[in-house]
Structure 1
Amino acid sequence: METTKKLIFPVEEYRGRLAKLHDYMRESGVDVYLVFSPENIFYLTGHQTFGIQNYHCCIVPLDRDPIIVLRFLESFNSHYFSWLTDIEIYDDHEIPAEVTARTIHKYHLQESRIATDDSSLFFPPKNKDLLQQALGKSLLSVSGLVEKCRAVKTPRELEFMRKAGKYTDIGVAAAIEGIYAGFTENDAAAAAYDTMTRAGSEYYQLQPIITSGWRSGIPHTTFQRRTFEPGDPVIIELTGTYHRYVAPIMRTAVVGRPSAKVQHMYDVCEEALAAVLDGIQAGKTSGEVDMLARRIIEKAGYLDNWRKRTGYSVGCSFPPDWGEGHIASLRYQDDTVLEEGMVFHIPIAFRDYGIAGVGISETVIVTKDGCEQLGSATRELVSR
């Protein structure tokens, strides 16, 4: 099959990422690393698909370019969008783990020290059992090597996230315009989705989050046909997507005038977020940054209305989530040292559980002396 590659990064950038992974593999005593996460495969190779539920395996040896094993229908995505040339396929009647084992033998890698990323949601224990049976050997379990490479973003990745941030701003503005008494959460969600998509944003890792009234007081609720009523707080949280890179943002609007409790909760959220934005910088630990918000929240008496981390890493992602908190999180007593080029979404949100909720966030790039904000939407509590 002859194709013209449609790469979003130049090959030298992919090779630079691969070189970093090889260094971590050597440190871990690994000769061949089997990668299953769609984000990790995309990061290393450029291969992407919305069919992420299908088995994908990227075989990464130390002494040659990676080989990807995937379903026949997915192979065309790899021919066009990855820089790889060695693409091995399986058909739907075959067992993917057995095809992976055959591929390992085909490339004479079976005697190597082979490790699997067992932390991947896309590599269940059953698949590891099948793979070990087919190879006739035990495999090492080494997790998180690609994630170490992904923690600090390259200049091209950061540029993609800046573009995603522009889509995000457009979506937030559209959602706010869709909030009126008598309209529904779905109206606001549809306005955000339509506007971002028409502007150029791709399919979403997580649909726009719009939750209102008493439902805004329940964490992780989203649009479900509820009609906006006077006094309702409305939490808006969404991201635009550019080449799978994100820049999420959270804002709050109120239908009419906010209650005194809603206004106070929002004021504290705003203060806590401002403290983080003022204090975050390379060299600080995740725990130190978390405390910037935690002290203010605890002093205001809202710790039980919060009870979570201050922020989490974001970058490239596929459904069902835009976050990469498993790479880095701004959380209590975490000793991870922040580096220039890390990117964090910092959502400060309180819930008066089952009554009302408010929230505000920014996505920022960590710099030597502070941070660069990717969003530009007003942080005011907007009245509609």
Structure 2
Amino acid sequence: MDQVIDQGRAERRERVIAVQERCRERGVDVAVFTSPENIYYLAGLDYEGYFCLHALLVPADGEPVLFARSLEAPTILRQARDIRYVGYGDNDDVAAAIATQLLAMAGESLRLALQRNSAFNAAIDAPLREALPNAEFLDSSGIVEEMRMIKSPFEIEQIKRAARISEIMVSAGAEAAGNGVTENTVAAEVFRAMISAGGQSPGFPPFIRSVDRICEPHTTWTSRELKTGDSFLLELSGCIDRYHAPMARTGSIGPASAQARKLAEISNQAHTKALNALKPGALASDVHAAWQAHLNESRVFARLKHCGYTVGISFPPTWTGGPGINSLHGASNVQIREGMVFHLITWITDDVGNDNFLSDCVLVGKSGGVFLTNMSRGLAEV
């Protein structure tokens, strides 16, 4: 465990240096990051306190500074040891304190980049503009997100660990499901398996739905009792050190209908088409085109306008990685590169309302996509 902590800490130091290099290239004096994912990537702060404002100030040269609540000092001082921490009280003028720090870092005429794609930016943008009338305001969005797209070998190992936990969770849910079993009983077994396997609380809770609620994208279990002939969905993710590996499987209580089995087969085939197109040098739109072509040939309909998105570090309320999501959709010119990790998704329905949702965590290797979640992709009949 200590070796893992030390390796993560060493990588974070290198990441800060890389951000500072990007700041110098862009003529930015100080970049400010406020999304939990970016702060964790650079500072290593993994906890549930991100509901309040955090601001990580990274100067082009010098020591980064993290502003967060004073209440959180014990956690931050233990976890974020390579970042200078400044605590604020709940009644303090945080923007004024940040402005004072920025003036000390780069003077009144600084070129300041704020993370505009973060929901927390609204809390400091206007006050900082008022407090720093001579500053030039730029956007730091994308600086860290671009770096996060390519996973290091260390990060890939964390995601592989999360993938094993995802498989354990899906297996536990499928084994628990059956005639007369309630959705929340299935959920309890999924959580038991997740915690027993060493998993942490994921960005999204497991999405466990059945029958007519399968079409609801982000709802989860109820007390509904499963019955023979019902379809059900398990979409979830294991989480290790904030790294996620989402996956989903569709199942049937008892034997499935011939149409449901056919839909599952089409889903698996489209999934494989997307995987085979996921090669370094291809565009995200190329992957989507290969996937969509099979759906068109099979005369089924996609519930989503994309067939996946990049994943890795995430905090509640999502496992999608926060702002700056890169999806595999028809208009995307994002180039696929070795080291990217995707949640590859095929969610389809037919003309009589049957749904099949299949997804996996996929790594882009030198020669193409590789499944990190490897359970059977057929329709689970339990």
Q: CA deviation at 1:11?
A: 3.8
Match of 2:260 in 1: 262
Q: Confirm or deny: 8 A CA contact 2:32 2:58 kept in the other structure.
A: yes
Amino acid at match of 1:184: T
- Show the 5 A alignment for 1:195-274: 195-274=193-272
1:191 partner SS: helix
Q: CA deviation at 1:8?
A: 5.7
Match of 1:312 in 2: 309
- Show the 5 A alignment for 1:1-384: 7=5, 9-124=7-122, 126-138=123-135, 139-303=137-301, 305-324=302-321, 326-351=324-349, 355-384=353-382
Deviates more, 1:187-196 or 1:106-115: 106-115
1:249 partner SS: strand
- State the Cα RMSD in Å: 2.1
Q: CA deviation at 1:355?
A: 4.9
1:200 partner SS: coil
Mapped partners of 2:140, 2:288: distance in 1 = 29
Mapped partners of 1:22, 1:322: distance in 2 = 27
Deviates more, 1:284-293 or 1:11-20: 11-20
Amino acid at match of 1:136: P
Q: CA deviation at 1:267?
A: 1.5
Q: CA deviation at 1:96?
A: 1.8
Mapped partners of 1:60, 1:234: distance in 2 = 47
2:214 partner SS: helix
Deviates more, 1:64-73 or 1:128-137: 128-137
Structure 2 gap ranges (5+): none
Mapped partners of 2:129, 2:36: distance in 1 = 22
Structure 1 gap ranges (5+): none
Deviates more, 1:195-204 or 1:371-380: 371-380
Mapped partners of 2:303, 2:83: distance in 1 = 49
Amino acid at match of 1:121: A
Q: CA deviation at 1:108?
A: 4.7
Q: Confirm or deny: 8 A CA contact 2:160 2:245 kept in the other structure.
A: yes
Deviates more, 1:14-23 or 1:248-257: 14-23
Calculate the TM-score normalised by the size of structure 2.
Answer: 0.93
Mapped partners of 1:348, 1:26: distance in 2 = 42
Among the aligned pairs, what percent are the same residue? 31
Amino acid at match of 1:81: Q
Amino acid at match of 2:87: I
Mapped partners of 1:286, 1:295: distance in 2 = 14
